């Protein structure tokens, strides 16, 4: 999520005929009326749009007993609502044989409606960021009789940049679906094998896996567009050893479910030097073990209760991550002096840590509007080492309401708020740089960073089967946690099209 790619180059790399054909199909289908609510099938899993690449997060948010393991020991493969749900019966035939394929596209547009701070070279502008993705999941128990075994792979192409960079924000990107894709047509996100044992009580996965796909994740977060919320709390990816979608590491993860509503999981993720650079990770297919320079070891415990006669679902998670990857000290050099003064190389710590608590709880159900209809509250607390990370703390609180409108049971609205506290050591280093006359400070900031906030409000419209469109408003208070920057506001939208 760190290095944006040029969307024009990405688009020019695609076959022109395919783009034209897809545009014609999308335009034609988007003009159709929504199918009647009585016929509508929920496109949701665990309360979130089940788009390409969400399957692992969805599975961890599904307690034992919410899916049927009688036909196969493998949890059900993702099956979102799509435009071409089952043409000529091919999808049904593939799934009967244990094969699922998904193809989707997501676009996020935002434009500033406020003028930026003057005299810093900033501007008022807009941009689009997007992704097309292909996912393949195989239940090998159905396909070849290998009990409990499945494989999962996702490939994407990305383009665009977030508009918030234009007015100086470098902490809460207005569009999350940018960067990390290497500016190539096909980028491998992950590919791994998974074994499910003892009727779902034990699950083991190994391969190329992003750490943050399974840990401190929640598919509800990507109902929103700002990177503070989607795909993980942004503070989680402050540490480069916490690999995040669309980049992955060699990894192994074990999940144990002692009871129907509880789980504990742990893993080891081998950090790759320069994971977010383009030299080794541009395509995602460069699996050079010689670049491994440390390990991250996350542990997470979860409680997933269902309350009352209305069966109100909740997800409560606490976790922590320690790692042995090299991290430069944000304030001190190799001699324990201020590096901003001496110009010496920064001290390197071969360890860092993070801790978090996440919660979501449906508090009221809209009866008769589907399994995901109701009001859900969201909460996040994230804490990072202030010695090696910029975002020391993040607090978020939000609400998501789906199915409140009886005639449009798959529409939703939501509001989310995030507060970022920057490490005081980062602020000190930047204040020293400022006193010495630096024009650009640590993290590319214009002013010392302290704390900042972002508020997002969206309305998600289910346009047609497999198509959602969500107008979106965001307000940035102290963009990039810089008091010297004017507050900013953006208007835009997030669209998702699940093709099949």
What does the pLDDT look like over 340-358, one tens digit per residue? Answer: 999 999 999 999 999 999 9
487, two tokens: 């507050």
105, two tokens: 């596209």
State yes or no: pLDDT of 15 exceeds 60: no
The DSSP code sequence of 182-248 is: TTSS-EEEEEEEEEEEGGGTEEEEEEEE-HHHHSS--GGGGGS-STTTSSS-GGGGSSTTS--TT--
Average pLDDT over every residue of 229-252: 92
Q: What is the pLDDT of residue 278?
A: 56
Q: What is the pLDDT of residue 60?
A: 76
The DSSP code sequence of 62-110 is: S-TTSS--SS-SSPPPP----SSSSGGGHHHHHHHTTEEEEEEEEEEEE
State yes or no: pLDDT of 461 exceeds 80: yes
Average pLDDT over every residue of 176-192: 89
User: 419 phi and psi, to 5 degrees?
Assistant: -120, 125
Residues shown for the chain: 500
- 202-218 pLDDT, tens digit per residue, is 999 999 999 999 999 99
Give the pLDDT band of residue 173 (cuts 50, 70, 90). very high
Q: What is the pLDDT of residue 16?
A: 35
Report the DSSP beta bridge partners of residue 138. 99, 151
Q: Which range is least confidently modeled, 47-51, 94-98, 232-236, 237-241?
A: 47-51
State yes or no: pLDDT of 65 exceeds 80: no
148, two tokens: 């409990």
More confident of the two residues 49 and 214: 214
Contacts of 121 (CB under 8 A, 6+ apart): none
Q: Is the peptide bond before 246 cis (omega within 30 degrees of 0)?
A: yes
Q: What is the pLDDT of residue 274?
A: 65
State yes or no: pLDDT of 47 exceeds 50: no
State yes or no: pLDDT of 160 exceeds 70: yes
State yes or no: pLDDT of 24 exceeds 60: no
Q: What is the pLDDT of residue 163?
A: 96
Report the DSSP beta bridge partners of residue 107. 130, 495
Average pLDDT over every residue of 444-456: 97
Assign residue 119 a region (left: φ > 0; alpha: ψ between -120 and 50; beta: otherwise): left
* pTM for this model (two decimals): 0.88
Mean pLDDT across the chain, nearest whole number? 87
SS3 call for 385? coil
Give the pLDDT band of residue 35 (cuts 50, 70, 90). very low
Q: What is the pLDDT of residue 180?
A: 83
Average pLDDT over every residue of 54-71: 74
Average pLDDT over every residue of 301-329: 95
More confident of the two residues 68 and 239: 239
| Domain covering 7-498 assigned CATH 2.40.30.20 in the classification | no
Give the pLDDT band of residue 296 (cuts 50, 70, 90). very high
Q: What is the pLDDT of residue 122?
A: 95
- 86-96 pLDDT, tens digit per residue, is 989 999 999 99
State yes or no: pLDDT of 43 exceeds 70: no
Q: What is the pLDDT of residue 277?
A: 62
């Amino acid at each position: 999520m760190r290095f944006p790619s040029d969307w024009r180059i990405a688009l020019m790399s695609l076959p022109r005929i395919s783009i034209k054909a897809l545009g014609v199909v999308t335009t034609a289908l988007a003009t159709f009326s929504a199918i009647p609510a009585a016929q509508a099938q929920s496109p949701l899993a665990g309360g979130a749009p089940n788009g390409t690449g969400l399957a692992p997060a969805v599975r961890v948010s599904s307690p034992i007993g919410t899916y049927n393991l009688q036909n196969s020991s493998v949890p059900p493969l993702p099956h979102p609502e799509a435009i071409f749900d089952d043409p000529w019966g091919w999808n049904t035939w593939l799934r009967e044989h244990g094969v699922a394929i998904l193809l989707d596209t997501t676009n996020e547009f935002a434009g500033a409606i406020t003028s930026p701070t003057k005299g810093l070279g900033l501007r008022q502008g807009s941009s689009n960021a997007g992704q097309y993705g292909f996912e393949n999941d195989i239940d090998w128990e159905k396909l070849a009789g290998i009990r409990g075994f499945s494989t999962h792979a996702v490939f994407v192409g990305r383009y665009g940049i977030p508009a918030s960079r234009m007015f100086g924000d470098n902490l809460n990107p207005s569009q999350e679906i940018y960067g990390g894709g290497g500016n190539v047509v096909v980028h491998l996100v992950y590919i791994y094998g998974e074994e499910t044992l003892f009727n779902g009580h034990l699950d083991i996965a190994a391969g190329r896996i992003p750490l943050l796909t399974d840990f401190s994740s929640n598919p509800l977060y990507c109902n929103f567009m700002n990177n503070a919320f989607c795909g993980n709390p942004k503070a989680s990816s402050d540490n480069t050893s916490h690999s995040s979608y669309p980049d992955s590491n060699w990894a192994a993860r074990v999940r144990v479910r002692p009871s129907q509503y509880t789980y504990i999981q742990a893993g080891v993720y081998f950090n790759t030097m320069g994971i977010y650079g383009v030299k080794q990770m541009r395509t995602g297919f460069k699996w050079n073990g010689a670049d491994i320079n440390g390990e991250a070891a996350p542990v997470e415990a979860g409680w997933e209760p269902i309350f009352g006669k209305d069966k109100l679902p909740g997800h409560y998670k606490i976790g922590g991550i320690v790692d042995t990857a090299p991290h430069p000290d944000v304030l001190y050099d190799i001699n324990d002096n201020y590096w901003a003064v001496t110009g010496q190389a920064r001290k390197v710590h071969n360890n860092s840590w993070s801790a978090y608590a996440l919660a979501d709880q449906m508090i009221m159900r809209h009866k008769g509007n589907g399994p995901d209809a109701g009001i859900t509250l969201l909460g996040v607390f994230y804490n990072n080492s202030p010695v090696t990370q910029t975002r020391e703390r993040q607090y978020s609180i939000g609400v998501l309401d789906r199915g409140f409108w009886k005639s449009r049971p798959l529409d939703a609205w939501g509001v989310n708020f995030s507060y970022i506290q920057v490490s005081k050591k980062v602020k000190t280093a930047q204040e020293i740089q400022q006193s010495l006359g630096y024009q650009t400070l640590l993290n590319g900031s214009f002013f010392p960073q302290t704390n900042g906030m972002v508020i997002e409000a969206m309305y998600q419209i289910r346009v047609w089967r497999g198509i959602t469109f969500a107008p979106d408003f965001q307000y940035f208070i102290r963009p990039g946690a810089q008091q010297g920057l004017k507050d900013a506001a953006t208007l835009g939208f997030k669209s998702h099209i699940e093709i099949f």
